[in-house]
Structure 1
Amino acid sequence: MATANLAGHFGTVTAKPVSQYTAGMVDQYTATYYIGSTYYGGSIPDAVPAAFYQDVVATTRPVTWLADNIWSLANATGVAQFQNKYGWDPTASYFEANGSVGTVTQVTYRDQALTRKVPAGQDGGVLRPAVMSGPGYPAVTQLATARDTSTGTDFPWAVRSGNLTYVGEIPFAYVSESDRIIAFQDLLFDSLAPATAERHRAMMRLEDISPNSDPAQLRAIADYLAAEQIPYGINVIPVYTDPKGTHNNGRPQTVTLVQRPQLVATLKYMLQHGAVLMNHGYTHQYGNTANPYNGVTGDDFEFYRAHVDASDNVVYDGPVTGDSALWAQTRVTLGLAQFALAGLPVPRLWTTPHYAASATDYKVFAQNYTARLERSLYFSGTLGGSTADPNRFIGQFFPYVVKDVYGTKVLPENIGNYEPEAYNNHPARLPADLIASA
């Protein structure tokens, strides 16, 4: 799913288990990506069809291979033939530090040092390609370099020879804003759109604006950004609620946009001076319960349940009670009505509160908005068309616009937000950190 989402930047994506491969399929597509997530070898029988191995070495179209079973391709092709065609030998390769794991902490790509922070005991390692030397072997291009901190040595993290690109791991686990996933995200252009002109652009938004926000502060920000000619998004929550009076001396409080005409006037002023209106939930919290903090708008999840464990980690618990397409659509409809009552335009962009919702909810958002600007959750079962498993998912963020597996355009949020204080085992994130990630 993660690779399919990224490839959705370039066009229509077809994703299948490799067991469903039939002869000639690689030549029906611009490029092929094989995700070696299941190890085959020893007592584990190989489930890859022989036709796939044959077509990979025969095609002239780009093929990218991630992680496991590249040695099976060499064995199926003939090791000598593989060496002569590609210039390296997967059967003589090994995972870094002779099998020990958790030692690769840096990947360098295009002179940028990227982090790799996989916890010890959770790391499957990175394959160290055995590149051939001597006359007659084709050149192997080293696309990115891994640093083995246990020995202080470098080795190829990604290589290319001919039309075959190999990446020594599946780089979607334990990612961050400065992670080696950036290298893989960029490499997709080589096989899917190599003529793309390089551009470096930024998107900015102001988050958690609600009827409780300070109009004077927002107007000052608007004037500054207009003076700098910087367009931006404004994430507006149409209803502010504090059901337990956490910030109101113990008295419950709920405020709508209509009840704050000065704020509404400020929002209209912002829209006239470079802002784009975005919807950020209905109340950005869930009922009268702590989810996970205090039930206050902007603090809590709205479309997903969560709690804080004894180690101060936020733990995702699954969809909210009563989650359904009707429930999610009702929240959206109520929120849009509040914008209309306040005389504001209909927002066409959506950001999910705290970046968490069920697969059902995401499909509802897709029916109501042109695009989402956010990070998202993607659930097991989605690619195969079966019911999404609410307890098995991957979180993902993008460096460019994609069309994801929910069929929705997603605008990127990959730099993170300013956070001056550490919380829930997340360190403070200061302006210098944002700039470094950019």
Structure 2
Amino acid sequence: MLKTPIARGVALATLGATLAIPTMAQAAFVDDSKVNLELRNFYFNGDNRDESATPASSKDEEWAQGFILRAESGYTEGTVGFGVDALGLLGVKLDSSRNRTGTGLLPIDSNGTAPDEYSELGLTAKAKVSNTVLKIGTLEPKNMAVARSDSRLLPQTFKGGQIISNEIKGLTLDAGYLTEVNQRNDSHYEDITASLNGGSLGGGEIDNLIFAGASYKLLDNLTGSYYFSNLEEAYKQHSFNLVHVQPLGNDQSLKTDLRYARSTDDGSSDVDNKAYGAMFTYSVSGHSFGLGYQEMKGDTGFAYVGGGTDPYLVNYVMIGADFAKADEESWQARYDYNFAAMGIPGLTFMTRYVTGDNFGANGRGKEWERDTDIGYVFQEGALKNLGVKWRNGTYRSNIDREVDQNRLIVSYTIPLM
């Protein structure tokens, strides 16, 4: 596998960074380094259930092989430690055609077909002082303000800078400045976009994303978080989160996840939204029973970074319905089971149902989604650590396209260093 062009590129980039550091400082840099290669085979089948649609839009079906090579160095010795990370991404088409594109697994050329392959090489310079790390270059942020998506063949990445500090016990500080995004099925960076759920920009041009936040462990079982974000010309947003886990004895617990976000206009936009969310999960002996509620208030729906980025909402689910349109109310019922509780470690099951209404013209819009995941990771033998997951989803709406969808994902990670 290391003979692929993208693998060679990552290896050479990391080696070059190592050679550029004085020999005396290389020990920790090399000894703490990690390199692994993830192989991800992804089959995607979507039936859009639209009898009036052309063949090009009635079905999405593609099959592809992904290679994700991650190289993370340690840090040089001294008060300020320096390092470099590299991310090599390669997607290879196994099956596709002009009338079945649109799955998000592969790019689409100007002639409407998917290329045979696409790739990207990302480099990140990093510096560490005590328990504070600064990274500049290719980033994969995952927080309340912006969360990169990894639900297709290759992960979404950003360019910019981010600093995370853990100097105070229980407190994490996080701030960043993002300038460009590389989508999950693309090989080049582009300007960041916005998903405004009914809002508009009024001709404004989106610039960069700025965010800053903190997460603090208030008690052993209670964590509070706050983030501010500003997608220039699109929106400003204040996000709050409280997570409490109450042990109930005898392998039981109750988790409470409360969320609130206030989004307002910026520049030429008309964003105005208050998003409320709550998820309660009772767990016992491998079983988890969840009940969620989400409500939108204001002139527009929930605003977040566009292009497939995951919004921080309790009812954001598989097929793309975020249940976050203006004035929408939605409920979720979820059940998970970990078969390790009955002696089958590695086997997991999840199913959920989400229904939303009170949106659209005269508040008559309705939609619902049902998802099921079954996954297994081999625990021993020649296939140890090989993961297989089947995802099935159904989406129905009285104002939007209806979808039946299946995804089959086989993944295996090889540690190389």
Would you say same fold, with TM above 0.5?
A: no
More helix by share: 1
TM-score of the aligned structures, taking structure 1 as reference length: 0.27
TM-score of the aligned structures, taking structure 2 as reference length: 0.28
Instruction: Tell me which structure has the larger Cα radius of gyration.
Output: 1
